[in-house]
Structures are given as C-alpha cells and as structure tokens.
Chains A and B, each alone.
Chain A
Amino acid sequence: MKLALREMWRRPARFVTATIILSLIALLLMFLGGLLDGLVRNSTGAVRAQRGDVIVFSSDSKDSFLRSTIDAELRSRIEAVPGVDRTGGIGIIQLGARVPGKGVRDLADTALFGYEVAPRGVPDTVPPLGQAYADSTLKASDVDVGMTILLGPRRTPITIIGFVDDTNYLGQSSLWASPATWRQVVSENRSVEALADGTFQSLLVAGDGSLSASKLSSAIDAATSGTTRTLSIDAAANAIPGVKEQTGTFNQILGVTVVIALAVVGMFFALLTVERTGLYGVLKALGAGNARLFGGVMAQAVLVALMASAIAAVLGFIADMAIPPGTVPFELGVARVILSTVLMAFAAVIGCVFSLKRVLRVDPASAIGAGV
C-alpha cells in the first residue's frame, strides 16, 4: 500500500486525468443531489416542522392539505381515540404578498398557515389577529420584523413579528398565524374556499406515547370508519405533490451516474494495471502477495475518488453560494457531500475489481528476462 501511495506522490500527473473526470462526475452527483435536496426541503419544511406524531386528512383528499377538511364533529371523534394526547387544526392558503418598498408587480410567494399547535421554531402562544411569524426566506424579499405585508387581491394586512427557519411549503415562504387570521385571509381573498368555524383542512395529532405512529394512525382511521387517512409526519411530507416523483426520478439518475463513475474507475485502473503487469511480475517475484498488490490498486482508486469528491465539494459549495436565491433550488449540505463521497468510494472499490483478475494472473516467473 505504501508503494501505491508513494507512486501517487511521485507521479501525480499519471492520476490527474482520472481525478478530473471523477471530479466532474462527483460534481454531477452533488449537483443532482443538491437540486433534489433543495426541491424537497423547499416543499416540505412546513410539514417536517410540525410537532406531533401524525397528521389526519379527510380520506377523499388524496393526502392534500388544500383539499382536505376535518370538521368539529370528526375532530371530537379523533380526540376520543385512546392514545391521542392533543390535537391542533391546520389551515393553509397560498397568496402573493405585497412588500412595502418593492415594485408594484414584485410580489413574494407566500403560504399562510393557521395553526393551533406551534411548529418547531415558533413560540407556543398563537399570534394575535393580523400578525404572523414568517419563514426566514422572506428576508430575501426585504421583509423584516415589524413590517406589514399585504396578502392577496384584497390586500389583507399581516404584520411580521418574527422569523422561523426551514418551514417553506411547496416552494412558498410560510407565514404562521392564528386560525382566526387564516379564516379572515381566506374569506377576504377566496370566499368560495372559506371553511366553517371549527373546521380545518387537516389535524395534527400528538400521541401520549402509548402507541407508535403507525398504530396511532390505524386507531384514528378505524375510529372514523375510514373517513380519515392518517399519515406520519414523514409520510405527509412525502405526500406533498411532486416530492415522491422528484425523489424517485433523481435517485434513478444518481444511480446511473454512479454506474458511470464505476465504469470510469474500472477503465482507468484496468488500463493502469495492464501498464504495470511487468512491474507486478517483479514485485511478485520479490515476494509481494496478490492481496498486497490489489490492495495498492484499491487504495489508489479510493484516494483518487476521495480527492475528486473533495474538489467537487469545493466547487459545489462555491456554486451554492454563487447561485442567486430563487433561480435554481440548489442546496448542498454536508450530508449530501458525505453520501456522494461514499458513493464515489464505493464506485472506486467496485471499479477496481475489474483489475483484480489481471493482478491475480501475473506470473512471477515472467519477471525473469522480462523487459520491465
């Protein structure tokens, strides 16, 4: 292994091309992954931030917040289910927001939530009528604490009283307000969609700890005779339109990209091994075992993959900083970099297996008289 690393140290030029190609492939993995993470995070933050175990939808809503309705009678049946500790109604309306000082046509996309149980990062006390906590992404639209923004065509005023992170919904900046504020905004701007007092779109449920989330879901749906469909928080986040499809498609593309990385590593090190056949013969004649020689090839491959991943990570983070907000939903996190690096290292190890046969086939006797 020492010999392999020394070769890389003394003859780095030999490995430059492979490192460049793998850097590009690693950058592709990180870019695609970063896009996926950005898209998913931007869509699901509001759901992931919910402090409960499950979310209850009406069964005919197809798990859509906007199409679900839970009335007071249904809610009381849910609250009577053994294992339910507390419940909180949720209502959403998506509207454009006029921000003071911005152009008359320059509106911010917002999703106003009426909540009873505060999500992560929002104080437990529900804000007074006409006030809301805003997702920090609204800062990019020059929204600040104390500012009053105007929602919808009827210009319903909402005063911002604080910020909260990572709570966006379907790519729109969230606003967290009281149920009364939500009802007022809906009735003023979309009166047709207004729901009766006591009725919410969905219900957040926190269990008392006696049941797992899946058992709690089953118990609630059984108690409502199937008029509800109850999902865990993660499942509700995945049920947001487009999330499952985006994740599936991107993961398939990432998978094929890893296979390409594997082919490149395999190709490069197979050729490098062919080049060194004579040298391996001499090393074997001097007593070096197959494991040692193959271990050297693998160490080189993994090191090249790690270097490529490091270069790609730097480029990826630069891209993350350079891309203006709102243009491309790219978000490169440490977890994505680690995952991409592991995949690259995996591709390097598997790619090296193509060289194993050649290393095993080298006959030490060939060293005698060979033109090495």
Chain B
Amino acid sequence: MFLALKEMRRAKVRFALLMGAIGLLVFLVLFQQSLQNGLITGFVGGIRNQSAPVVVYSVDGRRNLQGGVLLPELEAQVRAVDGVGRAGRLGLSTFTVEAGGKQADASVVGYDAEGLGSPANLVKGRLPSAVGEAVASEVDASDGFDVGDVVTLMPGGYTITVVGLAADVQVNVTPTLFATFDTYEAAVRSRFGNADAVLLPNALAIEPVAGVTPAQLVERINAISDEVDALTRSDAATKAPGVSQVQTSFRMIFVLYGLVVPFVIGLFFLIVTLQKTGALTLLRAIGASTSKLVIALLIQVLVVVAAGLAVGVLLYAPVSQAKLGGIRLRFETTAVIVWTVVVIVAGLVSSIFSATRVRHIDPVDAVGGGGSR
C-alpha cells in the first residue's frame, strides 16, 4: 500500500490526468442522466402528476394531449362505460404570455373538477376556485408564475392569476398553468375569437367507481371503440410521444460511455505496468510476492477511480441544481450510486490485464540485467 501511494505521489500529473478523464466521463454520464429525467418530466410531468387515474384520448391525438379532440358522440360513449365513476374534460393549449414583464411560452391545462386532472403535488397556495385563476408549475415561479402573479395571454389580453404552485407539472417543457375548464375555454377563445365554434375537450379524465381498478377500466373503455385510446395515468406519461425515443437515445449514449470508462482505466494501468516491468521484476527478485504487487495495483485503481468519481460528482453537484432552458435538472442520487458501482467494478475488471502481467513477471529475469530492461 505504501509503495502504491508513494508511486502516485511521485507521478502526480500522470495519475491526475487519469482522475480528470474519469471525472469528466462520470460528470457527463450523470449530467445526461439528469438531462434525460428533466426532459421527460418537462414533457409529461403534468400528465404523470395530475390527479385522474385514467386518461382517455381519441386515437387521433396519438397520446398527445394537445394532438386530438374527443367528438361529442365518443365522449358520451366513454362516460356511459360501466365502471366510470366521475368523468371530466381535459384541454391543453399553448400561448404566448406576458409574465414577470417578459414574453414567454406557456401551456394552459383545463380540467373540470378536483381529482379529474387537477395538479396532484400542490406545494404552495390552493387550487383554482374561480374563473381566471390557476396553479402554476413550481419550477417557473421565479419567472413570473409565483402565487399572486398575473399572467397575460396574448394576443387577446386574457389574464390569469396564479393562486398555487405544484411540483413537476410542466407539459411541453413550458411554464404550465392548471385552471378550470371554463378558464381554459376563455383563454382559447381570447386567442381565436371564434365565439360560435364549439371547443371540444382534448381528452377525458376519469375516476373509476370503487372496486374497479384503473387498468380494468382502461380495458373496458378501449373495448367500446377503436376511436378511443384509454390509458392509466402512468401509461399516459410513459407512452406519450417522444418519451421512449428520449429514453432509447440516452440508453445508447450511456452504453457507449459505460464502455469507454473501463477501456480508459485498463489502458492506463496496462501501460503503467509495462513501463515499470523492470522495477517490478527487481521487487519480485528481492522477495516481494505477486499478491503484494497485485494488491498495490488494485489500491492504485481504487484510489484513482474513487478520486475520479469524486471529481465527477463535485462537477455534477452544482450543475444538477441548474435550470437548462425550461428544464429543471435534479441531483439524481440513484444514478450517482449506480454509476459509482458501475465505474468501480469496471475499473477493477479492467485492471485484470495489468494484474495478469504482474503475475507473469519472473524474478529470474532480474539476474543478468533483465531487471533494467
């Protein structure tokens, strides 16, 4: 151990370079993990954290809340399904708004009643109780969406007062306002001004009767027509367009990074071992056992990997608190633990090649100058 650490002290730059490289790799992986989760929460957090256990889209909507409308005849059929307790309309539209003195994009979600699409994670204030009130996504509070702030929708000039904040309820990676359906309708009409046109809901929010599970109700609703697409709350979030694409893309990136880490560590220690073969031969000749040399190698690997992980996590910690565009990043503790284990195991596995080299060193080579080779 003494030998291993002393060598590291004497070749600081060499080992620091490797720690830095591992640190950057760990940082990148963790940052992208946060980015992936932040992106998904930004896209579908408002679906995942709304209160209705079942969401019913029209097939045309392609599981995108803003993408389709439920025609009146279809809505009536769904409401009549055995097992439907309460049902309410859901609507989503995006607007240009003026909030906090600046223009911004914002989404307005309209729902009929508490428990049928209202935001579930209220962290401040209250749910809207009157037309012109809304709960905003907490992450956007500092951008003019805090409790008491008035948001003006353009071009109609319709105003919505924020009366509450809810966590992780963004949709479309924009500030999101959850309001009653009446507020939503007034907002949409203020933009288009088609007073005669009927505003159809984008989806229905359903609560099953007691004794019927959301999964059972989904099955019953989907059986009534090929036009409806009923999903449980969690499926509505995970099967939303783009979510699986984001996950697959990031998974491939993580696999590639996961492959680079052991190669970098393995290459480094293999070269270091090759370089000091002479010295190791002499150590073997004067009585140092193979296990002692291998342990010294493993200690170096562990120290370098641990330091690299520390560098990576230290770089990641402040970045993980940032807001990237409209995306709120988070410190992903699970990802840190998983990648710590992965990198340590990868480091130890990659040192097998160097350990094999050390084991094959023959002390007899030291006699006759082999040791200085």
Do the two chains bind? yes
**A interface residues with partner B (beta carbon < 8 Å):** 17-18, 20-21, 24-25, 27-28, 31-32, 35, 58, 60-62, 64, 66-67, 69, 94-96, 104-105, 107, 109, 152-153, 171, 189-194, 241-242, 244-245, 248-249, 253, 256-257, 259-260, 263-264, 266-268, 270-272, 274-275, 327-330, 354, 371
B286 interface contact, C-beta 8 A: no
- Chain B residues within 8 Å of A260, by CB: 21, 24-25, 28, 260
Residue of B nearest to A245 (CB): B325
B274 interfacial contact with A, CB 8 Å: yes
Using known A-B contacts A18-B267, A260-B21, determine if residue A192 contacts B60 with beta carbons closer than 8 Å: no
Query: Could you list some 24 contacts between A and B, CB below 8 A?
Result: A24-B260, A28-B253, A28-B260, A60-B96, A62-B104, A67-B191, A69-B155, A104-B226, A109-B241, A152-B68, A153-B60, A153-B68, A190-B69, A248-B325, A253-B28, A260-B25, A263-B20, A263-B24, A264-B264, A267-B18, A271-B14, A271-B268, A271-B275, A328-B248
Residue B188 CB within 8 A of the other chain: yes
Q: Which residues of A contact B59 (CB under 8 A)?
A: 96, 104-105, 107
Contacts of B191 in A (CB 8 A): 67
Cα distance A275–B61 in the bound complex, in angstroms: 64
CA distance A158 to B69 in the complex (A): 19
The verdict on B129 contacting chain A, using a C-beta distance below 8 Å, is no
> Known contacts being A256-B28, A263-B20, is A96 close to B60, with CB within 8 Å?
yes
Q: Report the separation of the CA atoms of residues A296 and B154 in the bound assembly, to the nearest whole angstrom.
A: 64
Knowing A249-B324, A271-B271, A328-B252, the reply to whether A107 touches B155 (Cβ < 8 A) is: no
A61 touches B96 (CB 8 A): yes
Structural contact, A192 and B24, CB atoms closer than 8 A: no
Q: Which residue of B lies closest to A21 (CB)?
A: B263
Q: Which residues of B contact A (CB under 8 A)?
A: 14, 17-18, 20-21, 24-25, 27-28, 31-32, 35, 58-62, 67-71, 94-96, 103-105, 154-155, 172-173, 188-189, 191-192, 194, 197-199, 226-227, 229, 241-242, 244-245, 248-249, 252-253, 256-257, 259-260, 263-264, 266-268, 270-272, 274-275, 324-327, 369, 372-373
Alpha-carbon distance between A187 and B339 when the two chains are bound, in angstroms: 53
Measured in the bound complex, the distance between the Cα atoms of B194 and A94 in whole Å is 19
* A69-B154 Cα distance, complex, nearest whole Å: 12
Contact A256 B24 (CB under 8 A): yes
The answer, among A27, A191, A244, A327, for a CB contact under 8 Å with B256, is A27
Closest to B32 in A: A253
With A17-B267, A58-B155, A275-B274 known as contacts, the answer to whether A257 contacts B28 (CB < 8 A) is yes
| Nearest CB in chain A to that of B153: its residue | A60
Supplied contacts A32-B253, A263-B17, A328-B248, 5 more A-B pairs, CB within 8 Å: A58-B155, A107-B59, A171-B242, A271-B272, A328-B245
B270 lies within 8 A of A17 (CB): yes
Residues of B within 8 A of A171 (CB): 242
A35 to B256, CA, bound (A): 14
A329–B275 Cα distance when bound, in Å, is 45
Q: What separation, in Å, do the CA atoms of A263 and B28 have in the docked complex?
A: 14
**Quick check: B69 and A329 within 8 Å, CB to CB?**
no
Prevailing SS type, chain A contact patch: helix
A27, A35, A60: which has the most chain B beta carbons within 10 Å? A60
Known contacts A24-B256, A245-B325; A67/B96 CB under 8 A = yes
Question: In the complex, what residues of B have CB within 8 A of residue A61's CB?
Answer: 96
CB-CB nearest in chain B for A326: B245
Count chain B CB atoms within 10 A of each CB in A17, A260, A274 and give the residue with the most: A260
Q: Are B103 and A192 in contact (CB under 8 A)?
A: no
> Hey, which chain B residues are within 8 Å of A17, CB to CB?
263, 266-267, 270
A268 pairs with B249, CB closer than 8 A: no
Contact flag A275-B67 (CB < 8 Å), given A193-B192, A270-B14: no
Q: How far is the CB of A227 from chain B (nearest CB, A)?
A: 10
**Selected contact of B260 from candidates A21, A248, A327, CB within 8 Å:** A21
Cβ–Cβ < 8 Å partners of A270 in chain B:
14, 17
Kindly list chain A residues whose C-beta atoms are within 8 Å of the C-beta of B326.
245
In the complex, what's the smallest C-beta–C-beta distance from A77 to chain B, in angstroms?
Answer: 17
Chain B positions within 8 Å of A274 at CB level: 275
CA A94 to CA B172, docked complex, whole Å = 15
Q: Which residues of A contact B104 (CB under 8 A)?
A: 62
Q: Do the beta carbons of A105 and B67 come within 8 Å of each other?
A: no
Q: How far is the CA of A314 from the CA of B266 in the complex (A)?
A: 25
Check A107–B62 contact: CB distance below 8 A: yes
In the complex, A363 Cα to B259 Cα: how many Å?
40
Quick one: which of B32, B173, B199, B245 has the most chain A CB within 10 A? B245
With a cutoff of 8 Å between Cβ atoms, the chain A residues found around residue B253 in the complex are 28, 31-32, 35
Chain A residues with CB below 8 A from B21, complex form: 260, 263-264, 267
Say yes or no: A153 contacts B71, CB within 8 Å. Answer: yes
Nearest CB of chain B from residue A28's CB, rounded to whole Å: 5
CA of A194 to CA of B18, assembled, Å: 61
Q: Are A327 and B194 in contact (CB under 8 A)?
A: no
> Which 10 A-B pairs have CB atoms at the shortest separation, nearest pair first?
A60-B154, A191-B197, A104-B226, A263-B21, A245-B325, A96-B60, A192-B197, A62-B96, A21-B263, A271-B271
Docked Cα-Cα span, A60 to B104, in Å, equals 10
Min CB distance, B208 to chain A, in Å?
A: 22
Contact between B17 and A266, CB atoms less than 8 A apart: yes
**Cβ-defined contact, A256 with B27, below 8 A:** yes
Q: Are A192 and B249 in contact (CB under 8 A)?
A: no
- Chain A residue with minimal CB distance to B278? A371
Determine the residue in chain B with the shortest Cβ distance to A187. B197
CA distance A18 to B180 in the complex (A): 61
State in angstroms the CA–CA spacing of A106 and B255 once bound together. Answer: 31
* Complex contacts, A109 vs chain B, CB 8 Å: 62, 241
> If the complex has contacts A105-B59, A271-B271, are A60 and B194 also in contact, measured as CB distance less than 8 A?
no
Residue of B nearest to A94 (CB): B67
Let me know if A21 and B264 touch, CB within 8 A: yes
Q: Assess the A192–B188 pair: CB atoms within 8 A.
A: yes
Are B24 and A259 interface neighbours, CB within 8 A? yes
Contacts of A241 in B (CB 8 A): 105, 172-173
Write the chain B residue with the least CB distance to A105. B59
Task: Evaluate contact between A192 and B192: CB separation under 8 angstroms.
Answer: yes
Contact partners of B248 in chain A: CB under 8 A: 327-328
Which residues on the B side are within 8 Å of A263 (C-beta)?
Answer: 17, 20-21, 24
Smallest CB gap from B105: residue in A: A62
Are the C-beta atoms of A153 and B17 separated by less than 8 Å? Answer: no
The reply to whether A28 and B256 form a contact with Cβ atoms under 8 Å apart is yes
Question: In the assembled complex, how far is the CB of residue A347 from the closest CB belonging to chain B, in whole angstroms?
Answer: 12
CB distance from A20 to the nearest CB of B (A): 6
Q: Which residue in A24, A60, A96 is a CB contact (below 8 Å) of B68?
A: A96
Question: In whole angstroms, how far apart are the Cα atoms of A109 and B227 in the complex?
Answer: 16
Residues of chain B with a CB closer than 8 A to A249's CB: 35, 324-325
